Structure 1
Amino acid sequence: VSDAAMKDKKIPQSTAYVVLPAFAVVLCGFLMLLRGSILGAVHDLEAHGINLASLLLKLLAFQGELQWLATVLLTVYASYMGMQRWKAARFPDIVNISLNMLDPALPQEDIARRRSPRLTRKLRAEEPTQRVVLKFRTIAEKLLKDFVLDDHGRNVLLKAAERTQVGQPIIPLSKEDAISIKILTINQLSGLMPEGWLRAAVGLPVDVSNFAFAWCNEVDPKKKMRTSKLRVMLVPVATLERVLSMARLGERPAVEFPSAALRWDTLVSIAAAFFQDESFMGGFSLDESWVSSLDIAFAPGSMWGNAPTASGADSHRYDSRAR
């Protein structure tokens, strides 16, 4: 659905969420108008020494109603903001951790057949031109407060995320903040995949690969809106080298679905920052501290250990028993 269609489409729930706050504001104003009359009555009672009645009137006239009004306003506002975030598909309090990779491209018809018969018919006559396909898979999703435990750190990250632009999806951080976020991220990623290093610690062989990672907040140039979540992009360093090589040749990979094309541009920016290649920074200054790397160990023959990569150069066998 286009943005214009969304604007023209009337949603009753949206109208209700506008009317309810307006009603609450009017009610609050009405109570404020009555405030003078109520206080006048209270003063008259106090002048006649009726202190108990005065106290009761104060409590009845203000405490219950104002608490109820505050509850209604907060509930309506929270519901309204939640609805707006849902409609805009924006969830800034969620962190998505994704693995990005380049795989040998399947024939176009095979890709289409997995998705829909109509797309199969459309692509039957087309000759595949891409040699690889860009894939990305979610490893985990976490609440931002569970990823970055400090309130100040979360505020720094969210404010910096608002400064990303079309063509510059990497969250810009000061060097000091980038180091702090890097340590937090390495700890979180290591906690998601501990098996390999546990094996190495007891003398079992493992495969070790070097992965780059970056915090991103992509901006879609077509929709003119940000994607729904903060994202930690995880990509093998050897794959990142291939991304830069393809970009230098003007090549783009095939994608699994049309909206995934934006992810390729993001990976090019990450590669440009990691290898400090200014020709692919899009006119932006991308600091090398915005992209870091870590070694991840996998059990030989595991799902991760057998996962295809763009190059075998990013993986090596680590056998602590041989040392």
Structure 2
Amino acid sequence: MSKVKYYYDSETLSYRRVERRKRYYFFKTLLFMVSSAAVGIACYFFADQFYDSPQYKRAVNQNAYLENQLENAQKEIDQLAAVIVDVEQRDNTIYRIYFDANPISDEQRNAGFGGVNRYREFEGYDSSKKVITLRKSLDKLKKRVAIQSKSLDEIAALAETKEELLASIPAIQPVRNQDLTRMASGYGYRTDPFNKTRKFHYGMDFTAPRGTPVFATGDGVVTRADANSSGYGNHIRIDHGFGYVSLYAHLRRRKPYNVRKGQRVKRGDIIGYVGSTGRSQAPHLHYEVFKDGERINPINFYYGNLSPEEFNELLKKSQQENISLD
């Protein structure tokens, strides 16, 4: 109950009751409501600094969840990267070597991305550093996977031709062991039979009687069967593909060839016969192997028809510095 207030009226010399107008009560009520609202709002913001609201708690929990997911994603990417490293090592040290393909360098596999900032859209947030690190790891991983996928495509293509490659490589001795008189001279420096000077001998000489069969050492196409190359006399050249070419020189004069230019031959086919034409001192077969246009040592290609013991014996004889026959 509100108190009754009085005031002293000097004209009547008496106390009179104070009469309140309705407007007074209206403004008083309005002031109370405004003050209450202001106090409530102040309390809300003040309390929010010391007590977590439900919305704030949800935001904190969501942020913690996202941070945890970023860390887990980074760990998974690191694990996948380790798997890719293992596949890359197998690719370089086993698959590509087996199929005679050059290994892929680490610089090529791990190359970064140059140019403009690819991660600008992720900047300016509390988790920007983690997000950008994650994106960089993911992009590098995707690039390494793409390079490895391309490498495996190449290996698959090489595998399809591997059987053809194995059949084409000149992998047997061009004259049978039982037909040999001796292995006269090997690949390396030898004494020239004509001027007695020391010079490099680019093939292997197999001594055998005239008319001894000469065999194609791998599948291929005959590219030459003539006597139009200086020093070789009657000779045959076979293109085996894959960069390999074999040469058979000093074939006999009479009916030296069992094949013709352009003819396809198989490993083991008789292509000609031992003789002593051209720059030759005695009946023998001079045999050479080319890889990508360069002469290489034929001794490395006799695994197709020699036992280990026979190969070691042939290797020993081929390394002796004697007088060559051509």
Question: Structures share a fold, TM > 0.5?
Answer: no
Identify the structure with the greater helix proportion. 1
Length-normalised TM-score, structure 1: 0.24
